[in-house]
Structure 1
Amino acid sequence: MAVSCVVSNASNMDQIVDAVWARLHAGANADKERSPFTMLQAATIALDGAPAVRTVVLRRASREQRSVMFHTDVRSTKVAELRRDPRISLVGCDLDGGVQIRLHGVARIVEAPSETRGVWNSSRPRTLIVYRTPIAPATPITSPTEAHATTHVEGLDSSAGFDNFCLIEVAISRIDYLDLNPAGHMRASLVFEEGKWRGTWIAP
């Protein structure tokens, strides 16, 4: 799903806010034509205090709630890191369009079945296979196949792996928008204050 909303000559920050959320919404709702913002890099603070970054798939973006969501294995290192320090940053980049979006916020780990079941049921079966492996992510193994989940078992419960499934909902408080326009690079910093996004131009 392509989005033509690059702000090349933005006169106000509202246009940039519109562009950011349109791109995130397209990323979360991409189907066969994947959006550049479907896969984001998520940075957390590792348990040893070092930076940690990995790729996540954007599953939902809500401008009204100022939030984005992805799902992950509750046994993963990133969940342990966010339990200790919920601060998180995410970055996506459209290389062809020359646009980078950085999001900063606080993560909420959603484990309650009342909140996660709907997302699980609406996900593609192949997306959920990874949650069926009995081995937690980052566990040392002797070969890759040791960690492969069972996929073809007669009568396999559709809820198999659900206990390992959780959502990460990120409340966004700050956005950094960079437009690498050939006519002149532009960068804006957006902060949510007093019920609205307030932005300032900053040097690229």
Structure 2
Amino acid sequence: MDLNRFEAAAWAALSEAAADPQSGFRYLTLCTVDAALQPQARTVVLRQCADDRRTLTFHTDVRSPKWQEMAANPQVTVLGYCHQRRLQLRLTGQAECYAAGTDIARAAWYGLPQHTRQTYTGGPPGEARAIADGLPEAAAAEAGECRFGVVIVRASVLDAYQLQRNDNQRALFHYSFDGGLQEREWLNP
């Protein structure tokens, strides 16, 4: 496989995952650094992939530690491994956070099904759970809009590693801010 096809296959796999809940790359690991300079990792759901701009989109609660971490340091790493494809993708880049009230967050919120909106109605992520407040289901879900945020990761580097029975392949791709390919090279696996 040549570098062009290898890169295209990696981005195609991410694009497919954004539309397919059963895809191996649907759930990715987002890595940030906290205030104590400790690495933090958590699983996020890939909502969109724009391969032409080299961006990945996730949703989160704006009260979550990861939101605060990205506000303080937008440099992140996203890691995924698809067992079916035997492909690992590690992307580094910058997170752009869009809170409630922004056009991006508003459009994403109104595109969510009711049951997903309810995800944002409880207490702050990671805190002790309180007893339900008894709001009607639809009203509770709408109350979550102010807690909803969109994270767009603009990849600057893609490290793609294809495991094979023989001759594993690994390549590194560097991108400009607008997603243009700047450099690419094969790496030793």
Is TM > 0.5 for Structure 1 vs Structure 2? Answer: yes
Q: Gaps spanning 5+ residues in structure 2: where?
A: none
Residues 1:81 and 2:64 aligned together: no
Quickly say closer, same or farther: Cα 1:37–1:154, change in 2 above 3 A: closer
Greater Cα offset, 190-199 or 162-171: 190-199
Q: Is the 8 A contact 1:129 1:149 kept in 2?
A: no
Q: TM-score, normalised by structure 2?
A: 0.91
Residues 1:153 and 2:136 aligned together: yes
Quickly say closer, same or farther: Cα 1:26–1:67, change in 2 above 3 A: same
User: Counterpart amino acid of 1:189?
Assistant: L
User: Counterpart amino acid of 1:181?
Assistant: Q
* SS, match of residue 159 in structure 1: helix
Of 21, 25, 34, the residue aligned with 1:46 is 34
Q: State the superposition RMSD in angstroms.
A: 2.0
Quickly say closer, same or farther: Cα 1:54–1:147, change in 2 above 3 A: farther
Deviations 1:147-188 (CA, angstroms, capped at 9, x unpaired): 6676x7266265221000000011110000000010211111
Q: Which residue of 2 aligns with 1:94?
A: 82
Deviations 1:95-124 (CA, angstroms, capped at 9, x unpaired): 122111111100011114322111111112
Q: Is the 8 A contact 1:104 1:174 kept in 2?
A: yes
Q: Which residue of 1 aligns with 2:19?
A: 29
1 CA distance for matches of 2:133 and 2:31? 27
1 CA distance for matches of 2:54 and 2:156? 8
Q: TM-score, normalised by structure 1?
A: 0.84
Of 2, 6, 30, the residue aligned with 1:16 is 6
Q: Which residue of 1 aligns with 2:103?
A: 114
Count matched residues.
186
